[in-house]
Structure 1
Amino acid sequence: MSRDDQLITSLRKIANFDISDLDDKKSRAYTFVNPYSVKLLSESNIQINQFDKIYVDGILMVFILRLLFNIRVKRHSFDFTSLADVVIGYACNQDKPIAFIGSDFESNQLFCSKIRSQYKDINLGYSRDGYFGKEEYPALRNFIQENSIAIVILGMGTPKQDELAIYLKSQLSNIIIFTCGGFIHQHASTENEIYYPHIIDKLNLRFLYRIFDEPKLLKRYIYEYPRSIFWLFKLAFKDKNV
């Protein structure tokens, strides 16, 4: 099966979030895709079908999936406009040890300080930056296992965070893993509890705010996104002609 065929099959795992997704009777891994990240995943060696669910990050991807693949889902992102409070709140209410892995050291420390302030009952079992290689995966796995970490949030960028998520799922029992993209960095960098201003979120203009806040992303939106969208159109055409 070609990578494109694998991806088309994996797209069928795109679904809406349900609170039962946090059931830890077995290990589960979840990731999020937008036009840019889904193409990066297709170009990697990651077995996307190993994720239990794939959520749609961004209103543009919601429209593309509906138009091209007849997949009708809502937008779910790991940030405070969407799933972050649900997942972190669940960890607090159930006293589940949670780990945040990602961003640089200073941003990660600042993020954790803010999270402790926001969630007084959080059991923050582990945190570290996201700058490490595969050679450190076994030690990380052992630490998570020995300290009974129940939920792991990975903000290391696609596809690195996805690779680690699948590795941890395959190595550990009864653990829930979410990728979160730039969530740790974004939350650390804002003075507010929510990164996106309310009006920006309401009008679905989050991508414009990110460009304003992080100008280095401009190239991604004006160059990589159109290429990725064109690729998705070709993928949909191939799917309809199989």
Structure 2
Amino acid sequence: MTHINEKNKVDVLSVSFDNVTLFDMQHNINQFFNTQQHQNMFIVTANPEIVYYAFHHKSYQQLINKADFVIPDGIGVVLASRILKTPLKDRVPGIELMESCLDIANYKQQKVFLLGAEDSIVQQAQHNIEQQYPNIEIASHHGYIELDDEIVAKRIQDFQPDYVFVGMGYPKQEQWIAKHQHAFNQTLFMGVGGAIEVFSGTKKRAPMLMRRLNLEWVYRLLIDWKRIGRMAVIPKYLFSVLKSQNMFKRKHV
């Protein structure tokens, strides 16, 4: 699809972000479904880990840069854009964008498919969404599948969803979307990471005050010390951002 802010892009380590707010994305999604078309919408929710991974894996970088929207899911991306003197308006948390999609789906009585997490977790997430959004028709499948598993892909296709939320973690979730989206019509695809666990109730979001202070990452670390290994990428990411800024300055001296 062609989206409405094609020229309003911000480059962070060669990942091309759309300079949008959550409200902008709600408008874009409504506009997408209000216009009859055969094309799909592919949304990438990119945090610093994804950006750093893409910086070192060019094929993945090219894949996500072909998406219809790449949104800044994390304060680290917004801070990097400010360091690079091309500030993004705001972070757009993937979980909140998914909630916005569910609000729209509930209003329009649409169909949602969840692909990801363990079987018991995705089933619980499906149940919770059914309770909270009674006008949505929803189905699900666990995320422990191979990229070329055509049986699951065909099951999802037969369901004819309006939304497919893929929670397999990067890069697999975006690779799955890129491989299979051609078989669908006017469907919104989004990689949602651990959002399915949040909707299942097995993971909690940070208290509202910490979210407003952009400290949700601290809360995640406090409740799950296994994340400390993943957090090690942050200083490497920031170093790469600072290095890219210095290279840009040298080019323009």
Task: Please classify the TM superposition score into its range, dividing by the shorter chain length.
Answer: 0.7 to 0.9
User: Which residue in the other structure is 2:188 paired with?
Assistant: 176
Report the Cα distance in structure 2 between the residues aligned to 1:9 and 1:202, rounded to whole angstroms.
28
Q: Is the 8 A contact 1:13 1:52 kept in 2?
A: no
Say whether residues 1:165 and 2:177 are aligned partners. yes
Cα offsets for 1:68-116 (capped at 9, x unmatched): 150422111122xx22321001111111110111111121112112111
Instruction: Name which of 122, 127, 134 aligns with 1:113.
Output: 127
Aligned 1:11-90 pairs, distance under 5 A? 11-13=16-18, 15-16=20-21, 17-22=24-29, 23-24=32-33, 25=37, 26-44=39-57, 45-46=59-60, 47-79=63-95, 82-90=96-104
Aligned CA RMSD, in angstroms, stands at 2.3
The answer on whether the counterparts of 2:15 and 2:54 sit within 8 Å (CA) in structure 1 is: no
Runs of 4+ in 1 over 3 A off after TM superposition: 6-10, 12-17, 235-240
Note if contact 1:116-1:122 (Cα within 8 Å) is conserved in structure 2. yes
- CA distance in structure 2 between the partners assigned to 1:7 and 1:230 by the alignment: 12
Name the residue aligned to 1:144.
156
Alpha-carbon shift at residue 160 of structure 1 (Å)? 0.7
Change (3 A) 1:132 1:116: same
Q: Which moved more, 1:113-122 or 1:89-98?
A: 113-122
1:229 paired to 2:238: yes
Give the gaps of 5 or more residues in structure 2. Answer: 1-10
SS at the partner of 1:199? helix
For residue 137 of structure 2, the aligned residue among 114, 123, 137 is 123
On the 8 A contact 2:121/2:202 being kept in 1, the answer is no
Once the two structures are TM-superposed, the CA of residue 172 in structure 1 deviates from its matched residue by 2.3
Map 1:198-213 → 2, pairs under 5 A? 198-213=208-223
Number of paired residues? 230
Cα distance between partner residues in 1 of 2:189 and 2:221: 28
Q: TM-score, normalised by structure 1?
A: 0.85
State the identity as a percent.
21
Q: TM-score, normalised by structure 2?
A: 0.81
User: Which deviates more, 43-52 or 85-94?
Assistant: 43-52
Whether the aligned pair in 2 keeps the contact of 1:97 and 1:148 (CA below 8 Å) is yes
Q: Secondary structure at the match of 2:50?
A: helix
Per the TM alignment, residue 14 of structure 1 is displaced from its structure 2 partner at its CA by 5.0
